């Protein structure tokens, strides 16, 4: 599907099962118990605090606080949500296209429905 841009998760689940918002990252003391997990699967996530950044065009901006998948411990593997996770969107899009009986087409950066009534 081409170059994948990771999306920023706005929620996580802490060790006690509590759903945590990205707005809580950076609070002292932390209002959650580590380790943190994806709210939909058991993949570990990390809390990424708000950070000032500079774009490739030199413009300053603030990257908002968010949760990100923890790196895989096995070398050579990229982090991805576990099978069946609602946030594993690339697998969901492939499944839709595969099961569509030709009524959906998956391109490098899109999913197009071929139903005349939806065009």
Asked whether residue 33 is domain-assigned, the answer is: yes
Task: Say if residue 12 is in the same domain as residue 58.
Answer: yes
47 plus 25 within the same structural domain: yes
List the domain range (segments joined by +) for residue 61.
Answer: 8-80
Q: For residue range 85-98, what is the model confidence (pLDDT) as tens digits?
A: 888 877 777 788 88
Domains contained in the chain, number: 2
Of the candidates 77, 81, 80, 111, the residue with the CA atom closest to the CA atom of residue 94 = 111
52/104 same-domain check: no
In a domain, 38, yes or no: yes
At 11-24, the pLDDT tens digits run 999 999 999 999 99
* Mean pLDDT computed over every residue of the chain: 84
Phi, psi (deg, nearest 5) at residue 30? -60, 130
pTM beyond 0.85: no
Residue at 1 is within a domain = no
Residue 90: predicted pLDDT: 76
| Residue 2 within a domain | no
% residues pLDDT > 90 (the chain): 51
In a domain, 108, yes or no: yes
Model confidence over 68-88: pLDDT tens digits? 999 876 665 668 888 888 888
């Amino acid at each position: 599907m081409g170059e994948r841009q990771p999306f920023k998760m706005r929620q996580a689940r802490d060790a006690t099962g509590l759903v945590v918002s990205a707005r809580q990252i950076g609070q002292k003391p932390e209002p959650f118990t580590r380790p943190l997990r994806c709210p939909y699967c058991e993949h570990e996530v990390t809390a990424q605090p708000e950070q000032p950044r500079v774009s490739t065009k030199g413009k300053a901006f603030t990257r908002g606080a968010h949760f990100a998948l923890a790196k895989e411990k096995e070398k050579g593997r990229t982090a991805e949500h576990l099978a069946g996770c609602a946030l594993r969107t690339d697998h969901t899009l492939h499944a839709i296209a595969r099961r569509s009986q030709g009524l959906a087409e998956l391109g490098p950066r899109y999913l197009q429905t071929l139903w005349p009534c939806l065009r």
